[in-house]
Amino acid sequence: MEVSFSMNQQLFRDICKEVVMHMFRTGTIKEPMLFYPRNDLGLLDTIYSQHITQKDVLSIRDKSLDTYLFISGMHALGVGICVIYAENDFKRPLEEFDYLEFGSLITAFSKVDAYELALNRMGISVNSGLKKVLDQIIIVGINTAIACVGNKIVEPENFKAFMQVLYNAGYTIMFVNKEKIFKE
């Protein structure tokens, strides 16, 4: 997998292993593997850059690392989920989006939180069991990251690995279920 930003590859593998196995054990996925767009056109880099520079997000990080990681994980998972919806809407893979289509995706995330948008697109209420399944995926990612690097999770190369896994997890959830979701 090609990524344009520096990330802790070992941490990425460690979080990935735990998240994938959790998703597999809970039946969220049928095979223990993650999928991701071949070329996401820098989407995760863009979202990551926006996310880590938002003052309100940074103030949360300073107050509660757990809350910051959960919000960040929700955001990354939501972006991954929304990519599949956008691919379905535009009838082509993300790597073939033109400038306006890509821009509309970025704009959507600046107007509504990616996780909220994903839940809305999936028709999942905030009190549903399905949301709890998604939340648990994020918690597994957080617990693994903290177990591996502790508070150093906020260092850019660690934080990017964390977000990349959850982005891929969101994409995977939708990728493996798109036939059921997008019945014509």
Report pLDDT digits (tens) over 143-154: 999 999 999 999
Residue 3: is its pLDDT beyond 60?
Answer: no
Look up residue 8 and give its DSSP letter. -
The answer to whether residue 7 is domain-embedded is no
The answer to whether residue 129 is domain-embedded is yes
The answer to whether residue 124 is domain-embedded is yes
User: Contact 61/68 with Cβ under 8 angstroms?
Assistant: yes
pLDDT in tens, 57-94: 778 888 899 999 999 999 999 999 999 999 999 999 99
Helix axes 156-181, 9-25, angle to 10 degrees: 30
Q: Which ranges constitute the DSSP H helices of the chain?
A: 9-25, 43-53, 55-63, 65-90, 99-111, 114-122, 129-149, 156-181
Please give the residue range of the domain that contains residue 109. Answer: 14-27+43-178
The answer to whether residue 35 is domain-embedded is no
Q: How far apart are CA 135 and CA 83, in angstroms?
A: 19
pLDDT in tens, 25-35: 999 999 999 99
pLDDT at 180 (0 to 100):
76
Domain count, the chain: 1
The answer to whether residue 9 is domain-embedded is no
Q: How far apart are CA 22 and CA 149, in angstroms?
A: 20
Q: Could you give the percent of the chain with pLDDT greater than 90?
A: 70
